[in-house]
Amino acid sequence: MSDKPDKLITDDGLRLDGRRADEIRPMKIEIGVLSRADGSCYLEWGRNKILVGVFGPREAHPRRLQRADTAVIRYRYNMASFSVEDRARPGPSRRSIEISKVSREAFEPVIMAELFPKTAIDIFVEILQADAGTRTAAINASSIALADAGIPMKGLVTSCAFGKVDGQIVLDLNKEEDNYGEADFPVAMTQDGEITLLQMDGHLTPEEIKKGLELIKKGCKEILEIQQTVLRKKFETPVEEPEAKAEETEIEAEETEPSLEYAPEAAVVEEVIEEAEELEEELSEETTEAGAVTETVPEAEELEEIVKEAEAEVVDGEAIEEAIEAEAEEEAEEETEEEAEEEAEEEAEEEAEEEAEEEAEEEAEEEAEEEAEEEAKGPWKVVKDPSESGSRGENDE
């Protein structure tokens, strides 16, 4: 390793990548990048590239791992063979097993595992590209992926490392600093500042550690803000989008417009319907029974049937075909009928809707009751909200 730079920190206090001692590397986060995982996160931190997938709570296999009172949390830290300069031997190594263990323990205090007995929550971390501080980056990413998966957590876990480089305490080491520095000190903490992971590699004095922890607090605060912003943005996006959506609906409206071309024909059909109705009336004079039939069909769509009846009986089914202009071929007729139907329906709809509303209201009441109950649920401990009762399922026929 002869390519050690002479100085890791310049005289004016800048590091190799131009950062100051108390600055973290730039972080980029994407949420929900894996469609098969319940929650996922892709994180770039400096030159680290990390992909995390979270599954669960799901049935724990093998079953002997199940705990009767709580979920088991499994954390798998894995480096891709191409993640470092020299090919990393695939499969678990001493190092990755250790990192998996400490990282899992970093999450155990925040995940409400006791809400999901007998299940497993799996966190899979893949290091695609490593550039020092992968375990801290992985914890930051996992934290977001867990939140994305909808796993109840008391808060996000944030992680950051400090180290000693050229005798100076600096935040968030990069590859060179890690390789040629004197110490590396990764820490993970909850947002309240409770430390859930703490490791040290190298030699540090108590004063240095104190100083470093101050840096860590500052770094973690910055990271937490990034995590929170990203998460909020992810869940807020759809709300911000209505403009784009409005455009879409406009386009949709345009798309549906062609049907308006049939409107005049619909009018013709309406006329025909009126004629037919007149005929029907005439008919009904002769045959009160038949008239009764018309009365018993209040639904607008059945007007069509009446038309047809009238056609069949009086005009011998040709009325519509004649009335509609030449271009109104069978197809068009079909459409116009539809249109007419719709228009007629609209009239009838007002009434029908009222009825429907009433019905809906009935359903709504049930729903509302439930919802009310739902809201009236006890504290979070009662995750099995008994009030979210089955009556919501009553919405079938």
Partner 1 sequence: MDKKIVIPGDLLSENSKKAGYGTYVKNDKIYSLFCGIENLREDKVGVIPLAGAYIPSVNDVVIGVVIVVTPSNWIMDIASPYDGLFHVSEYPRRVESREMPEIMNIGDSVILRVKDVDSSMKVELALRDSNFHKLKTGLVVEVEPVKVPRVIGHGGSMISMLKKETNCSIFVGQNGRIWIDGKDEDMELLSKALRKIEAEAQRSGLTDRIYNFLRSERSKQKESKPAKYFKSRKKETKLPKEGHSEEIYRKIDVLLDPKN
Minimum CB distance to partner 1 smaller for 38 or for 172: 38
- Min dist. Cβ of residue 100 to partner 1 (A): 22
CB of 387 to partner 1, least distance (A): 9
Distance between CA atoms of residues 167 and 308, nearest Å: 96
CB of 46 to partner 1, least distance (A): 25
**Helix, strand and coil percent figures for the chain, each rounded to 5:** 50, 20, 30
Q: Which of 101, 245 has the CB closer to partner 1?
A: 245
Q: Which is nearer to partner 1, 201 or 370 (CB)?
A: 370
Angstrom distance (rounded) from CA 328 to CA 330: 7
Rank residues 12 and 240 by Cβ distance to partner 1 and give the closer one: 240
Distance CA 28, CA 44 (A): 5
Nearer to partner 1, 34 or 88 (CB): 34
**Beta carbons within 10 angstroms of residue 155's beta carbon:** 15
- For residues 178 and 304, which CB has a smaller minimum distance to partner 1 in the complex? 304
State the nearest-atom distance from the C-beta of 145 to partner 1, in Å. Answer: 11
- Roughly what angle, to the nearest 10 degrees, separates helices 301-310 and 263-286? 60
Shortest separation between residue 192's beta carbon and partner 1, angstroms: 8
**Residue 57 Ramachandran class (φ > 0 left, ψ -120 to 50 alpha, else beta):** beta
Cβ atoms of 186 and 197 closer than 8 Å: yes
- 14 or 251, CB closer to partner 1? 251
For residues 268 and 246, give the distance between their C-alpha atoms in angstroms, rounded to a whole number: 34
Q: Which tokens sit at 220?
A: 């973690």
Query: Which CB, 62 or 258, lies closer to partner 1?
Result: 258
In the complex, the smallest distance separating the C-beta of residue 315 from partner 1, rounded to whole angstroms, is 13
Q: How far is the CB of 151 from partner 1 (least distance, A)?
A: 7
From the number of C-beta atoms within 10 Å of its C-beta (0-12, 13-18, 19+), residue 366 rates as middle
Query: How far is 255 from 188, CA to CA, in rounded Å?
Result: 54
DSSP 3-state assignment of 126? strand
Q: Where are the alpha helices (DSSP H) in the chain?
A: 94-107, 134-148, 175-180, 206-240, 242-256, 263-286, 288-296, 301-310, 319-323, 330-375
Closest listed residue to residue 39, CA positions, set 155, 142, 137: 142
State in angstroms the smallest separation of the CB of 207 from partner 1: 31
